[in-house]
Amino acid sequence: MRVLSGIQPTGRFHWGNYFGAIQQYIELQQQHDGYYFIADLHALTTVRDAELLRQYKRDAALDLLALGLDPAKAVLFNQSDVPEVSQLTWILMTCTPMGLLERCHAYKDKVSRGLNADAGLFTYPVLMAADILAYDSNLVPVGQDQVQHIEVCRDLASSFNHQYGETFVLPEARLLSTSAKVPGTDGEKMSKSYNNTIELFEEPKALRKKIMRIATDSRPMEDAKDPETDHLYLLFKLFGAPDQVAAMAELYGKGGFGYGEIKKQLADAAENYYAEARQRRQEFASRPDTVKDILADGARRARLQATNVLTRVQDACGISKPF
C-alpha cells in the first residue's frame, strides 16, 4: 500500500504535530510505501515572508529526519520540487464544480478566523487532491477535520474516471489516532492558530519556562482529582513510561499535591523523550548538504511517479502530443 501525507511549514513543529501526525508517519513507513512532503505550496496561503518560509522548510526537513523519517524507507521531498503536481491541479480544476469547493468547511473556518479569502485558499482542496492522486496513493493519514478533503479528492478522481476512463487510483482516508488531540498550554487543542503550542525542540530552559506557565485550575491541593480531565496529566501521559503514568494517576486520585510538582515531572519526561531526536537534529543541522541531497533524491523519486500519472492523465483527456 502507498501512504501519502504532507505537512505545512508554517512554523516550528510542536507536540501536537508530532503526536497527531508525525509519530504515525514514522510507524507507517515500516509497513508501507511512504511518500511524505513538506507542503510549501500550501503554506503560501498563510506565510507571505520569503525568508521565513525558507527557514520553516529547513526546520521541517531537519525535524522530520531527526524524529525518524527514514529516506531509505520513505520518500521525503518538498512539494514545490514536483511541478507535475501543479500541472495536474489545473487539469483537475477544469472539472471541479464551484459548489463543491464552496461547501468545504476548512475554507469557511479559515475565513471566519480572518484569513484572506483568496483563490489559493478557496482551491486548496484541488491542490490537495493533486498531491494525493499524483502518486497513486492508497492511504492518506488525516485528522477528522481533513476527511472532507479526501472525499473531495475521491469525487474529482471519480468524475475524471467517469468522463475519460479509469485513470486515477481512488484513495482512502486513514484517520489519525484519537491521541492526536494534544492539549495546549491553555487546555484547548494544541494549535498554532491558538498560540498555545510547545515546540518539539524548545531549548530546555525555554521548555521548562513554558510548561510552568501552563494554565491550571484553582482546586485546593488536598482535593482528589480525575486525571483524565486534567490537561497536565494528559500531556504527561504522552511522555511518561507506563509505571510513571500509573503512579501519577494514583497521585491524582489521592490528592495532596501541587501542580508545580506535576509540571516539573512533565518537563523532565518531555526533555528525556526528545533527547535522542534533539541530538540527531544537531547532527543533521551540521551537515546541510546531506539534507539537501536527501530532499533532492526524494524529489527525483517523487517526480518519476508523478510524471507517470500526469502522462496517463494527459493521454486520457487529450492534451498529450498529437503528433
Catalytic residues: 110, 189, 192
CA-based max dimension of the chain: 83
Of all residues in the chain, what percent are helix, strand and coil, respectively (each to 5)?
Answer: 60, 10, 30
> How buried is 278 (Cβ within 10 angstroms: 0-12 exposed, 13-18 middle, 19+ buried)?
middle
Residue whose cell numbers read 519526561: 269
Q: How far apart are CA 258 and CA 182, in angstroms?
A: 22
Rg (CA), the chain: 22
Q: Which residues pair with 2 in a beta bridge?
A: 33
Q: Letter for the amino acid at 213?
A: R
**For residue 165, what is its C-alpha cell?**
476512463
Helix (H) or strand (E) run with residue 169 in it: none
Residue whose cell numbers read 503554506: 43
CB 37 within 8 A of CB 131: yes
Helix (H) or strand (E) run with residue 303 in it: helix 288-317
CB atoms within 10 A of CB 98: 8
Residue 157: strand, helix, or coil: helix
